[in-house]
């Protein structure tokens, strides 16, 4: 599994939407592809399937998709 570390910039209340994170880490090529894989239940957030496309991803979250593990710092 490929591990990607993604650092959020800003204060403690900072977050990124799930579909934006998938695009920012180059796990998908387009926003529509990101929406499709999330809707299909192919993305795990902290070990649980996440189907909310605009879920607020915060520091400490672990996202898994297609052999990639994204650690949000």
Check which CATH number belongs to the domain holding 40 and give it. Answer: 3.10.290.10
Residue 49 is predicted with a pLDDT of 98
Count of structural domains within the chain: 1
pLDDT digits (tens, 9 = 90+) for 12-62: 679 999 999 999 999 999 999 999 999 999 999 999 999 999 999 999 999
> pTM above 0.95?
no
- Residue 59 and residue 68: Cα distance in Å, rounded? 17
The 10 Å Cβ neighbour count of residue 27 is 21
Residue 34 lies in domain: 2-72
């Amino acid at each position: 599994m490929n591990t990607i570390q993604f650092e959020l910039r800003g204060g403690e209340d900072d977050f990124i939407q799930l579909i934006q994170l998938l695009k920012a880490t180059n796990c998908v090529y387009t926003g529509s592809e990101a929406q499709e894989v999330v809707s299909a239940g192919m993305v795990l957030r902290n070990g649980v399937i996440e189907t909310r496309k605009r879920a607020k991803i915060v520091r400490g979250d672990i996202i898994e998709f297609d052999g990639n593990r994204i650690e949000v710092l």
